[in-house]
Amino acid sequence: MPFGAEMTAEGVRFALWAPTAREVRLVLDGAEQPMATEQDGWYRFVSPKARAGSRYGYRIDGDLVVPDPASRFQPDDVHDLSLVVQPDAYEWSDTAWTGRPWEEVVLY
C-alpha cells in the first residue's frame, strides 16, 4: 500500500498525502518525529522503533493531530490515534469462508 502504515524490513513506513500542509509530524507512541516532504504533497517516514501495536497519528502544521485516513485499525474511535497492524500475522480461523457474492458487495 503506498500510503498509511506498512511493515517493512527497515521498520514501519508511514506515508500521508497532505498537499496543503506546511509541516507534518508523526506522533508515535507519545513522541513526535518530523516527516520528510516529498513530491506531490506526500510526507513519509520510516521508524525502526515502530511495530505492530504502536499507536500513531499525524500532527498537521503544529496544531491538529489526526488519525491515519488509511488506517487498518482504529481501536478506540475514528478521531483517536490509529494502531499499526501486521496483516500477514493474522491467523484465519474460518478457512471455509469465501467472501460475499459479487451482487451483495458494497464498495465505499
Give me the chain's average pLDDT, please. 92
Mean pLDDT within 57-71: 96
Mean pLDDT within 43-72: 96
> CA angle 78-36-34, nearest 5°?
65
Domain range spanning residue 9? 4-87
Q: Is the pLDDT of residue 95 over 90?
A: no
The CATH number of the domain holding residue 59 is: 2.60.40.10
Please state the domain count of the chain. 1
User: Is residue 19 assigned to a domain?
Assistant: yes
User: Is residue 41 assigned to a domain?
Assistant: yes
User: Is residue 105 assigned to a domain?
Assistant: no
